[in-house]
Amino acid sequence: MSGPALRQLNAHRSIHEAAYGQVKDMTDVLKRLYQEGRNEEGKQAEEILIEHWRDHIISHADSEEEGLYQDFKKKYPEMSETIAQLTRDHDLLRKILAQIEADLEKEDKTKDRLAMYDSLLIVNWHHSRDEERYLLGE
Ligand SMILES: [Fe+2]
Ligand SMILES: [Fe+2]
């Protein structure tokens, strides 16, 4: 998603909320599968969840960095520190996701991966609120 929707608070916030709700629900399902010992299905659900993070949240971050953030820096140079912090949040999401993928085939790392899915949700939640506050005038 790019263009005018990202520059408008309500539209942008709905993108955040929809994506967050989806990955939160998918994470809950995933945990239940592992709790019930359905490990094969759990692994498949993880693959779908990782793809969802990439297609919906990381690609949203990429387009912000290419468009909205650049425009902001040009228009309000005094905001470049804030933009750097928000970009760092995106980088944390990318790093945590890369770690999950690196550990995906390791059976003994399932618990660690489940903790990392929670970390993604927490970082993303705070990031979205800050973005709405600092860039969209919430
Ligand atoms: Fe963002
Ligand atoms: Fe955003």
Q: Indicate the helix (H) or strand (E) that contains 129.
A: helix 110-135
Q: Rounded mean pLDDT of 65-69?
A: 96
| CA 60 – ligand 2 centroid, Å | 6
User: Using 50, 70 and 90 to split pLDDT, how confident is the model at 1?
Assistant: very low
Cβ partners under 8 Å of residue 92, min gap 6: 123
| CA 20 – ligand 1 centroid, Å | 12
pLDDT of residue 137: 81
The two tokens of residue 133 are 């506050």
Topology (CATH) of 4-136: Four Helix Bundle (Hemerythrin (Met), subunit A) (1.20.120)
| CA 110 – ligand 1 centroid, Å | 28
User: Using 50, 70 and 90 to split pLDDT, how confident is the model at 87?
Assistant: very high
Q: Which residue has the higher pLDDT, 1 or 12?
A: 12
Q: Rounded mean pLDDT of 69-87?
A: 95
Identify the CA nearest to 13 among candidates 127, 93, 94. 127
| CA 78 – ligand 2 centroid, Å | 20
Describe the crossing of helices 68-75 and 59-66 by its angle, rounded to 10 degrees.
30
pLDDT of residue 136: 85
Please give the model's pTM, rounded to 2 decimal places: 0.93
Cβ atoms 23, 120 nearer than 8 A: yes
| CA 54 – ligand 1 centroid, Å | 13
User: Using 50, 70 and 90 to split pLDDT, how confident is the model at 3?
Assistant: low
| CA 46 – ligand 1 centroid, Å | 23
- Percentage with pLDDT > 90 across the chain: 90
| CA 73 – ligand 2 centroid, Å | 16
Number of the ligand closest to the Cα of 13: 2
